Amino acid sequence: MAWVAAGAALQYGIAYKPANMGWREAYVLPDTVDACQHLSTISAEVLAAKQSKLTALRVADPDPCVTCDRCRVRLPDLWLCMTAGCDHIGCGRRKRGAHALNHAERHEHPIVFKLHSLDMWCYECEKWLGNDGDPAIECLRVKEIAETLAEPAGRTEEEVALFDRRQRERAVSTRVMHSDEFYLIQADWRNLWYDFTMGDRIAPPPSLGDAQVQLATRIERSDPVLLNHDYYVINRQAWEFLAQVYGPARSLSEHELRNVAVRQVLVSLRRILPNE
């Protein structure tokens, strides 16, 4: 393992560590330099205050009734500001008001906590916190915070597993670059998966197989299908990942697409079977 000077990590303001690690050890782990620095503002005291806020909320107002402080948006797309002394609850950026984002920008309060799924987002770093591939120290702290802010009964093993799975699956980029092979994925299924990775839906979607067969049938019949309405285009890596996790899944060959209504994109599809 490569080590960096403790001072170099300190200058990034990292002030948290996993319970099983000494402070010195935590500071000199090379990957702390890429961790979200804003996480260090969530001290034990701040976390205790957020916990009380959530307890009060659950007592006074059972979760499904919570609304955005500025509009009527309800769960699942609600975010608690994690800055000390601030209890703002705002709606997500995909909502008309985007009140969590507006609040973060106006007050420079970077981190928010998703009430529905216990995930965290940093508006400064513009990313989910504790994703797969993020520095271990960040992932551990994010888990610790989720654990502390979960319902008093704690999280079940299944809930913890789904939380981890979301962190892993949202790290999968579906973005298609110029030179990529393209894959079509049925929109309804993709939306379920997207909602799962965004923490709007706790359960992952069902298997991809039937959804892809439906799409294939429409394309074979030359029914008109619309990009981002009936289907999305994803890259090969994402397709392979999804086919492996949610497969077996039907993919369409170039031959099958020769006479079809899909004209918006250049498509080159290949049959991919899991574990082939």
Coil, helix or strand at residue 245: helix
**Smallest distance, Å, CB 53 to Zn ion?**
12
Applying CB under 5 A, the site for Zn ion has a residue count of 17
Coil, helix or strand at residue 217: helix
Q: Which residues, other chains included, contact 139 with Cβ-Cβ below 8 Å and sequence gap of 6+? A: 130, 131, 167
**Smallest distance, Å, CB 95 to Zn ion?**
6
Hey, what amino acid is at 77? Answer: D
**109 near Zn ion, judged by CB under 5 A:** yes
Whichever of 81 and 242 has its CB closer to Zn ion, that residue is: 81
**Smallest distance, Å, CB 152 to Zn ion?**
24
Q: Which of 193, 213, 212 is nearest to 204 (CA)?
A: 193
Whichever of 93 and 236 has its CB closer to Zn ion, that residue is: 93
Which residue do the tokens 């170099």 mark?
8
Name all contacts of 190-199 with Cβ < 8 Å and 24+ positions apart. 190/231, 190/232, 190/234, 193/169, 193/242, 193/246, 196/166, 196/169, 197/166, 197/169, 197/170, 197/172, 198/170, 199/76, 199/114, 199/116, 199/117, 199/118, 199/119, 199/166
**190 near Zn ion, judged by CB under 5 A:** no
Alpha carbon distance 267, 185 (integer Å): 12
Whichever of 52 and 156 has its CB closer to Zn ion, that residue is: 52
The only residue of 36, 115, 140, 198 in contact with Zn ion, by rule CB under 5 A? 36
Pick the stretch among 11-19, 46-54, 109-117, 173-181 that binds Zn ion (CB under 5 A).
109-117
**Smallest distance, Å, CB 166 to Zn ion?**
19
Whichever of 9 and 234 has its CB closer to Zn ion, that residue is: 9
Residues 120-139 binding Zn ion (CB under 5 A) are 122, 124-125
Task: Give Cα 69 distance to the centre of its chain.
Answer: 23
Residues 60-99 binding Zn ion (CB under 5 A) are 68, 70-71, 73, 81, 83, 86, 88, 91, 97, 99
**Smallest distance, Å, CB 170 to Zn ion?**
16
| Interacting residues toward Zn ion by CB under 5 A | 36, 38, 68, 70-71, 73, 81, 83, 86, 88, 91, 97, 99, 109, 122, 124-125
